[in-house]
Amino acid sequence: MKKLFQTVCETTINAPKEAFNLHDWVFTLSDKDYQTTARGHIAAGSSIHTDGTQTSVNVESVGGNLLVQHYVAEAKEPDYIKMVSMSDLWLMKLIHIVVKVTWEMRLISVSKNECKFQNTVLVEHPNFIMKILSALALGGYFVRKHNEEETPLFAKNLYERTFKEKV
């Protein structure tokens, strides 16, 4: 696989990282909550494969391209989750290809009462020509802008759902 682009965004949460469980949050994120965390978020849901593996299915539009992602968690800790998807991508909603998307979220302690929410997206494809095409289509720019929008909204949703549920 060749890296097409990667983006990392962070935002501060005014609570200790021990208050949160990223795995539980991402796999119980409602369709409506997902839609409110970025303009390009169309739909989300969770399901179980026949082997019992939990999946998160996300549908989104990034830079005019439609993605359907089928994430499986490779790491699932309360403060770190790494999910990988062989994602269906329709370039300009016309040309279908499959890309590998790795989505990582982590909570990093800043102080006793504060942490950082870090959101990383890596997109890969085996064909070098896709690296050239994605650069020409400004794919990295659009994914970065999307990540910059969703990161603080994901953190806000994580905070609100965590503390709403504890009340």
Residue-wise pLDDT tens digits, 119-134: 999 999 988 777 777 7
Give domain limits for the chain.
2-166
Q: Which two tokens stand for residue 66?
A: 């439609």
Structure confidence at residue 166 (pLDDT): 56
How far is Cα 73 from Cα 33, in angstroms, rounded to an integer?
20
How far is Cα 96 from Cα 78, in angstroms, rounded to an integer?
35
How far is Cα 85 from Cα 113, in angstroms, rounded to an integer?
33
Burial of 22 (0-12, 13-18, 19+ CB in 10 A): buried
Measured N-to-C along each axis, helices 128-136 and 139-166 cross at an angle, to the nearest 10 degrees, of: 80
The architecture CATH gives domain 2-166 = 2-Layer Sandwich (3.30)
Read off the pTM: 0.92
Closest by CA position to 82, among listed 119, 45, 37, 114:
119
